[in-house]
Amino acid sequence: MHADPAAIRPPFYQPVADECAVFELAFRQQLPLLIKGPTGCGKTRFVAHMAARLGVPLITVACQDDLSAADLVGRHLLGDGETRWQDGPLTRAVRQGAICYLDELVEARKDTTVVLHPLTDDRRILPVERTGEELEAPPSFMLVASYNPGYQHALKTLKPSTRQRFVALTFDYPAAAIETGIVATEAGVSHDQAAALVALATDLRRLAAHDLDEAVSTRLLIHAARLMQAGLPAGSACRVAVIEPLSDEPATRMALAEIIRAHFAD
């Protein structure tokens, strides 16, 4: 039994600009939305917040290299001596009038994104070739996709013919004052503890373009803060929640540890 989406309290999300208004207007106007931004900056939380706020079911798909069109649309399965059709997540979202969130869309196979095209123009239909159906999306259906532009390279980009079907928002890590409030609220730590973690992140993010593949995310700060709230010393919390997830290189981890020691002395 599923809870009524309209009765679900929206998960905490701190707006940074007009992204909530843009999402709601795109939903009302039946426009697909593309969200661009680094890992851990709040894209997924934002979509969950807006789905609950609008009272619409949310179906999330974590895209990866071998995601096929059949994985999205559905396939025939053999069981108990008979063949039956099973809807994929995209088809379920269209039938239910849900928000379908494709997380890291660029990771999906390029031929997979073609099935999205009829849903992202004024037709708003999903042809299901294997069943002969042509599903018309109800007004509450919305397609939302996200990706991290920092991971883009020649083989991991969205075709212009796909990208230009969406309206788009660009996310980044919040300003220090906003990020401090997010960390404090999510982890239940004091404002001063949250501010110290954000100050650490500011220093570490300066290294991202040189020594790190990816910057420290707000998500990692919240993980560290929760461990601190549970009683782990700040330096140890930052080691296991920040240093280890960011790098496997011993020299890089040592450099990060020095920065952490400058901020937190256990």
pLDDT in tens, 123-178: 999 999 888 899 999 999 999 999 988 665 445 677 788 888 999 999 999 999 99
Low-confidence ranges of the chain (pLDDT < 50): 1-2, 153-154
Q: Is there a single domain that holds both residue 182 and residue 155?
A: no
Tell me 4's DSSP state: P
Spatial separation of the C-alpha atoms in residues 40 and 63, rounded to whole Å: 16
Q: List the one residue out of 214, 255, 215, 222 whose CA is nearest residue 241.
A: 222
Structural domain boundaries enclosing 96: 5-170
Tell me 39's DSSP state: T
Tokens of 34: 């593309």
Rg (CA), the chain: 21
Tokens of 85: 């059709």
Q: List the one residue out of 216, 145, 149 whose CA is nearest residue 183.
A: 216
pLDDT for 215 = 83
Q: Is there a single domain that holds both residue 155 and residue 206?
A: no
Q: List the one residue out of 106, 223, 124 whose CA is nearest residue 162.
A: 106
Interaxial angle between packed helices 218-229 and 191-205, expressed in degrees from 0 to 180 and rounded to the nearest 10: 140
Residue that terminates a domain, selected from 148, 170, 192: 170
Residue that terminates a domain, selected from 170, 194, 225: 170
64 bridge partner residues: none
First-last CA distance in the chain? 48
Mark 2-13 as b/e (b = at least 16 C-beta within 10 Å). Answer: eeebeebeeeeb
CA distances from 230 to 145, 158, 236 (A): 35, 42, 12
CA distances from 234 to 61, 93, 212, 228, 264 (A): 35, 43, 22, 6, 6
Q: Is there a single domain that holds both residue 139 and residue 251?
A: no
Q: Is there a single domain that holds both residue 125 and residue 218?
A: no
Give the residue carrying structure tokens 């020649």: 154
Q: Is there a single domain that holds both residue 85 and residue 114?
A: yes
Domain at 102, CATH number: 3.40.50.300
Q: Is there a single domain that holds both residue 182 and residue 163?
A: no
Residue that terminates a domain, selected from 170, 196, 223: 170
